[in-house]
C-alpha cells in the first residue's frame, strides 16, 4: 500500500521560504510523478506542481517564479520550496502520487498524504 | 489555464436520492477528467478517472459520464457516507480543479 506523509514547519514568516518534505512508503520515488497540492481553509484545491523521480518537474505557471521541487532517492522523499511567502500561501499542503497509467502526460492523483497546515504569519 | 466550473455549488439531498453534479471545462479536455470526494479534515479521495472509469474499491453507485467540455458525476442512491464535497479535476493540461460541490443533508 502506497503511503505519503508530509512534514515541515507549521509556521513560516512572511517573505521567508516555505519548505516541506513528503516521505513515501510502499513505492519507489524513482518511478511515477509526485505532486504537491494546496487548499486554503474553506476553499478549493490548487495544483502546485509535480516532479518525476529523475528530477524533471512541472510547475503551476502562477507559482513558477517562487517554486522549486526536488527528490531524494536515497530517502525516498520529495520536497517543495516556495519562496517569498505571504499570507495568501497559508493553506493545507498535500503531497500525492500521480496515477501510474501511461495514458497521458499529466495525471490524476491516486494516493494522497493526510496534509499539513502551513500558516504564514509574523 | 483551463478553467473548471461545477454546479450546483451546494446540493441538499436525502439518503436514497439520485444525485447529479455537473462539471464544465473552459476548453476541450477529451476525457481526461477525474472526480474526488473530500470529507472535512481529510485528504481528497479519487472516485473516477478518465471521465467514466471507476477507481478500484469505489462503490458502483458512483458513475461518471461526459467528454470534451461537459461531465457529470452521478450517485445512484445516496448513502450516509456520501455526504461530502466533490471536486472535478482536468488533467489534459497542467491540472486544475473545479470549485467543489458540497452534498449536505436535506
Q: What is the pLDDT of residues B23-53, one digit of tens each?
A: 999 999 999 999 999 999 999 999 999 999 9
CB contact under 8 A, A46 and B87: no
CB contact under 8 A, A109 and B34: yes
More confidently predicted of A93 and A53: A93
**Contact, B54 vs B47, CB < 8 A?**
yes
Q: Is A94 on the interface with B (CB under 8 A)?
A: yes
CA B15 to chain A, closest CA, distance in angstroms equals 25
What pLDDT score does A72 carry? Answer: 95
Kindly tell me if the per-residue pLDDT of A102 is higher than 90.
Answer: no
- pLDDT class of A99 with cuts at 50, 70, 90: confident
Cα of A30 vs its chain's centroid, Å? 16
Q: Residue A80: which of A4, A25, A27, A26 has the closest Cα?
A: A4
B5: nearest CA in chain A? Answer: A44
CA gap B13, A120 in Å, rounded: 37
Strand partners, A72: A77
Q: What is the pLDDT of residues A4-16, one digit of tens each?
A: 999 999 999 999 9
Amino acid at each position: 500500500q502506497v503511503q505519503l506523509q508530509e512534514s515541515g514547519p507549521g509556521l513560516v514568516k512572511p517573505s521567508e521560504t516555505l519548505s516541506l518534505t513528503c516521505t513515501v512508503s510502499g513505492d519507489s520515488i524513482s518511478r511515477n510523478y509526485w505532486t504537491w497540492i494546496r487548499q486554503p481553509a474553506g476553499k478549493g484545491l490548487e495544483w502546485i506542481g509535480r516532479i518525476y523521480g529523475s528530477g524533471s518537474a512541472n510547475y503551476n505557471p502562477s507559482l513558477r517564479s517562487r517554486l522549486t521541487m526536488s527528490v531524494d532517492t536515497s530517502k525516498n522523499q520529495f520536497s517543495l520550496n516556495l519562496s517569498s511567502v505571504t499570507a495568501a500561501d497559508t493553506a493545507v499542503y498535500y503531497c500525492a502520487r500521480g496515477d501510474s497509467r501511461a495514458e497521458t502526460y499529466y495525471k490524476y492523483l491516486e494516493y494522497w498524504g493526510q496534509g499539513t497546515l502551513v500558516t504564514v504569519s509574523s | 489555464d483551463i478553467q473548471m466550473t461545477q454546479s450546483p455549488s451546494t446540493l441538499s439531498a436525502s439518503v436514497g436520492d439520485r444525485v447529479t453534479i455537473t462539471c464544465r471545462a473552459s476548453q476541450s479536455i477529451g476525457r481526461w477528467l477525474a472526480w474526488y470526494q473530500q470529507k472535512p479534515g481529510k485528504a481528497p479521495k479519487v472516485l473516477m478517472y478518465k471521465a467514466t472509469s471507476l477507481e478500484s474499491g469505489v462503490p458502483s453507485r458512483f458513475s461518471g459520464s461526459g467528454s470534451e467540455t461537459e461531465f457529470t458525476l452521478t450517485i445512484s442512491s445516496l448513502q450516509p457516507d456520501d455526504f461530502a464535497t466533490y471536486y472535478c479535476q482536468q488533467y489534459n493540461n497542467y491540472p486544475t480543479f473545479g470549485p467543489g460541490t458540497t452534498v449536505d443533508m436535506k
